[in-house]
Amino acid sequence: MEVLGKYWLRRILARIADLVVYEGQEAHTGMPVMVLKGAQGRPVEGEGVLTLLEVLPEAWVLEWPLGAVPLSPYLGMAEGGRLEGWVRTLAQTLLALKAQGVAFAPAPELCLVKGKRLWLGGVGVKGLEGDPERALVALARALAADWEAFPLKGTLEALERGEARMEDLLVPEAKPPSQEERAKEEGPKGGLQEAPLEPPAGKLSQPPPAKRLVVEPVEAKGETPSPPPEGAEKTPSRPRVIRIEEKDEPPFPVVEPSRPQGGRRALLALLLLFALLGLLGLFLRPKPAPSQGYVMEFRTDPPTERAEVILLEVPEGSRMVPGQVLLTAPGRVAFDQGGVYRLRIRVPGRDPVDYLLEVPGPPLTIKVR
């Protein structure tokens, strides 16, 4: 391990012309840093650009965000959704640099990612200038696990041909109309609407005359009743009726018997007993067995290769100890908490690679090239 001032140079990330990129560490605090040995030029600051900590006579020292890893381990392995977020973030940063008059061609070893965030290192170093559009397309193509199925493939290829701009990557793609919207636009099935039939002019038929119903009074034909004899008594036309009504309410006051309170007290005592039993059961219930955590499977390609997996950083709440060797892949490991773990993968004869593992997730395949 080399030493540069107060920094340890742990491993080489890339060699670009006369520039050597190191992953380093501050000797006193243990803070991770990126060291650009042989860097010449004028440092550029901005959002999405690694902060410059110190300029040494032979190198630049940049801040390394905690938990971030280079993009190089994701070459040929980045999924569509994750890669789409990185490409949009990278395009926004490159546009901001282009507005400052800086044309920067990012390399995967100089790009650090943590979740959906992305930072650029080496902005302003001589020898890293280039066409940002072509560099962005080349980087996306190299990272994509399935380039043909990548959602931004058409926009990036148009950008490479000069038919699109990087601003187009920041605009969300329009969603296709749903079936209901298509049905509303097309109207009823068949696209034809029946029009009311009208008779030709000049041949309009007049409505038939309405029939009228006439009601006329008709005198009944019959004999008129003869008047009663003079000496006969007159009989009443209708009998007299005497109606006697009774009141619905009794004439005396109604006294309702008082309800016994023993039943209410018994119900209250029963509810109190149930509450006490519930509290007692809550305190006396057996403690649940500790969860088994999340089991992740590690594979190697080809399966005959062996890879040592070392735990570097754990998420909050995890009791796993950083620095321990989890396993020698292929195999399985149980993680006690979900979150992002930083791992270091070592294969004999090759440089170690740091990787951010999201738990839970699909099995991790370690490809030995």
CA-nearest of 110, 105, 118 to 68 is: 118
- State the pLDDT at residue 255: 72
pLDDT in tens, 144-179: 999 999 999 999 999 989 998 889 888 765 555 556
Average pLDDT of span 334-340: 92
CA-nearest of 341, 251, 331 to 296 is: 331
**How far apart are the C-alpha atoms of 51 and 242, rounded to whole Å?**
111
- State the pLDDT at residue 181: 57
- State the pLDDT at residue 331: 93
pLDDT beyond 50 at 195: no
- pLDDT band at 235; cut points 50, 70, 90: low
Longest dimension (CA), the chain: 155
340, 59 in Cβ contact below 8 A? no
0.75 surpassed by pTM? no
Average pLDDT of span 232-247: 56
11, 65 in Cβ contact below 8 A? no
- pLDDT band at 251; cut points 50, 70, 90: low
Q: What single-letter amino acid sits at 274?
A: F
Higher pLDDT residue, 48 or 186? 48
CA atoms within 13 A on the CB side of 7: 26
pLDDT in tens, 290-299: 456 899 999 9
Burial class (CB in 10 A: 0-12, 13-18, 19+), 95: middle
Higher pLDDT residue, 86 or 266? 86
Higher pLDDT residue, 19 or 245? 19
Q: Which residue has the tokens 């930083």?
A: 342
Average pLDDT of span 43-66: 93
Compute the Cα dihedral for 164, 167, 173, 174 and give only its sign: negative
pLDDT beyond 50 at 366: yes
Instruction: Mark residue 108 as left, alpha or beta (left: phi above 0; alpha: psi -120 to 50; beta: remaining).
Output: alpha
pLDDT beyond 70 at 257: no
pLDDT beyond 80 at 71: yes
**How far apart are the C-alpha atoms of 17 and 55, rounded to whole Å?**
20
- Which string of DSSP letters, residue by residue, matches 289-356? PPP--EEEEEEEESTT--EEEEEEE--TT--PPTT-EEEEESEEEEESS-EEEEEEEE-TTS--EEEE
- pLDDT band at 216; cut points 50, 70, 90: very low
